[in-house]
Amino acid sequence: MLLSEQMSKSQTYFEKACKVIPGGVTAGIKFFPPHPILMERGQGSKLYDVDGNEYIDYLLCYGALIAGHGHQQVFEAVVRQMQEAGTTIFGTPHRMETVMAEKLIDLYPGIEMVRYTNSGLEATLLSIRMAMAYTGKGKLAKFEGHYHGGYDQVLLSVNPDTDEAGPSDRPHVVPESKGIPDYYVENTIILPFNDLEATEAILRTHQSEVAAVILEPIQGGFIPAESAFLKGLRAITEELGILLIFDEVKTGFRISLGGAQQAYGVTPDLTALGKVLGGGFPVGAVGGKEEIMMVSAPRDGKDILTAGAAKSGKAEVLFHSGTYNGHPTILAAGLATIGILEEEGAMEQLFARTQSLRQGLEDVYRQHGITMQTVGMGSIFNIILTDQPIRNYRDMNQADNALRKKIDYELLKLGIYTKPLNRYSMAVVHTEADIAKTLEAHHEAIRRVRR
C-alpha cells in the first residue's frame, strides 16, 4: 500500500532496501507503515524526498539539527578544519578537544571535565560505568518512559505495556527488546517520574546498592520534570550517596545553552550530551565533577592493556576508549553550531518561534473543537490530544493518539515532516512563513480526517 500517489518512488526504493537491510531501515524507529519516506536533499528548514516533494522538517534528525540542514557556517567550519588539518582525523590528542571541553565547562553548571564518545548512547553508557566505578555499587535506577540509548542496561521500561508495568508508584522492570540478559532486569530499579514520594521510598530501600539515578530531566525532550521534583531528587540522591546523571542528549543546547540543568538550576553529578553537540555528525560527551571524571584518567601510565586487570580479575582503572572519540571534524561542526546559537538573540528567537507555533496550533485545534495541548520547553514540544495533565509516561496513554496519528499522516502528504506521533523540534532557520504554512496544513489535515 502506498502512503500517497506522490510518494511512489519512496515505496519503490524502500522495497529495494528491504531486500538488503532488515525491515528496510537502519534504525527501528525510522520505520512507519506502510513505508517511510526516503529523503534525498535538505536545505534550511526543508527536506526533499526522492519523489521531489518538499517538507518543512520538524523531526530535524531527532533534534540534532538545531541549525537546520546545511547551515553555511557549519559547512564552512567542517571544510576549513579538514583543509587546515590536511586530514579528517589525527588519531591523537589535538587542541580542539580542549577548546570544546572549555566551552562545555563554561556553559554547563554540572561540567568540570569532559570525555568524548561517538553517540548519545555511548555517553550514557560511559556515565553509568563512571558512576559504578566511583561509588563501587552495582545497580542503576532509571525512570519509566525514559530513553537513554538502545543497549541492554537501559533498554528497560522505556515504552512498556502498562499491563506488564505494575503499579504506577512501584513500576516493574520491563525489557524492551529480545536478547536482553536477565542480569540487567535483576540489577535495574525503575522509578516513577515526577513522583518524589515514591521515588524517595524506592531509593531509600535500595540505597546501599544503587550507584546512580539516570534521567532525562525533560522526558522524551518534552515532558518537563516538575521543579520541586528535580530539586527533591537532587537532595535525596546527595543524602543517600547516589550519583545523579542527567541525560541531556536531547535537552542539551535546546532548553537553554546550558541544557535543562541551567534552566532548572539543578546541578547533576554527571551529564551525558550528544545530538546538537555534533552539528549533525555522530558525537557524544560525558561531563561532570572532576573527582568523578578522574576515574577515567589513565593512572601511572596504566590503561587496560598495561594494568593486568584481565589476569588478576580486578581492574585498576576505568576503561574508556574509542577510535573516533573527539573527532576534530565533528568537533568543528559542533563548535560552529554552538557559535550560531550564541549569536545575539538566536536562542530568544528560537524560543519565541517555538512559542508562536505552539500557540498557533492550540488555536487551530480549538477552532476545530479538538481537545489538545502542547507540552514542552525551550525548542521542543509535542501535540497531545487530551486536556488531562501530562506528567509522565503513563499519562500519555490518556491522549487520543489514534486521531493524532491520522492527522500526522495527512500532514506528511501536506508537506509537514515529522514521524507520525513524534515530537516537534525547532531550528533557528524555521521562519514565520514556515509557521504560517504549518498552521494552515494542520487546518487542512483536520478537515481531511473529518471528511
Amino acid type, 192: P
Say if strands 223-224 and 218-219 run parallel, antiparallel, or are unpaired. Answer: antiparallel
**Distance from C-alpha of 130 to C-alpha of 140, rounded to nearest angstrom:** 12
Task: Kindly name the residue from 147, 393, 409, 424 that is annotated as catalytic.
Answer: 147
> Which residues have CB under 8 Å from 325's CB, separation 6+?
115, 116, 117, 118
**Distance from C-alpha of 307 to C-alpha of 309, rounded to nearest angstrom:** 5
Instruction: Tell me how long the chain is.
Output: 451
Q: Which CB sits closer to ligand PMP, 118 or 438?
A: 118
* Smallest distance from ligand PMP to CB 414, Å: 26
**Does residue 247 have an active-site annotation?**
yes
Q: Are 449 and 403 in contact (CB under 8 A)?
A: yes
CA distance readout (Å), 237 to 117, 184, 205: 26, 21, 13
**Does residue 314 have an active-site annotation?**
no
* Smallest distance from ligand PMP to CB 309, Å: 27
- Contact footprint for ligand PMP (CB under 6 A): 62, 119-121, 124, 147-149, 216, 247, 249-250, 274
Q: Which CB sits closer to ligand PMP, 285 or 361?
A: 285
For 220-230, give one letter per residue: b (16+ CB within 10 A) or e: bbbbbbeeebb
CA distance readout (Å), 437 to 3, 267, 355: 21, 39, 16
Q: Are 260 and 248 in contact (CB under 8 A)?
A: yes
* Smallest distance from ligand PMP to CB 146, Å: 7
Task: Kindly name the residue from 46, 269, 275, 365 that is annotated as catalytic.
Answer: 275
State the residue for C-alpha cell 491522549: 399
**Does residue 142 have an active-site annotation?**
no
Amino acid type, 261: Q
Q: Which CB sits closer to ligand PMP, 101 or 245?
A: 245
Pull the grid cell for residue 451.
471528511
**Distance from C-alpha of 276 to C-alpha of 378, rounded to nearest angstrom:** 14
Q: Which CB sits closer to ligand PMP, 44 or 280?
A: 280
Pull the grid cell for residue 439.
498552521
* Smallest distance from ligand PMP to CB 252, Å: 9
CA angle 153, 149, 287 (to 5 degrees): 95
* Smallest distance from ligand PMP to CB 363, Å: 29
Residue nearest to ligand PMP (CB): 120
Angle between helices 346-367 and 432-450 (to 10 degrees): 20
Q: How far is CA 423 from the centre of its chain?
A: 11
Angle between helices 346-367 and 328-342 (to 10 degrees): 70
Q: Which CB sits closer to ligand PMP, 192 or 280?
A: 280
Q: Are 317 and 298 in contact (CB under 8 A)?
A: yes
* Smallest distance from ligand PMP to CB 230, Å: 15
Q: Which CB sits closer to ligand PMP, 42 or 217?
A: 217
Q: Which CB sits closer to ligand PMP, 281 or 365?
A: 281
* Smallest distance from ligand PMP to CB 95, Å: 25
Say if strands 416-417 and 54-57 run parallel, antiparallel, or are unpaired. Answer: parallel
* Smallest distance from ligand PMP to CB 407, Å: 23
Q: Which CB sits closer to ligand PMP, 143 or 365?
A: 143
Task: Kindly name the residue from 57, 247, 408, 434 that is annotated as catalytic.
Answer: 247
CA angle 148, 101, 71 (to 5 degrees): 75
Residues that are catalytic: 147, 247, 275
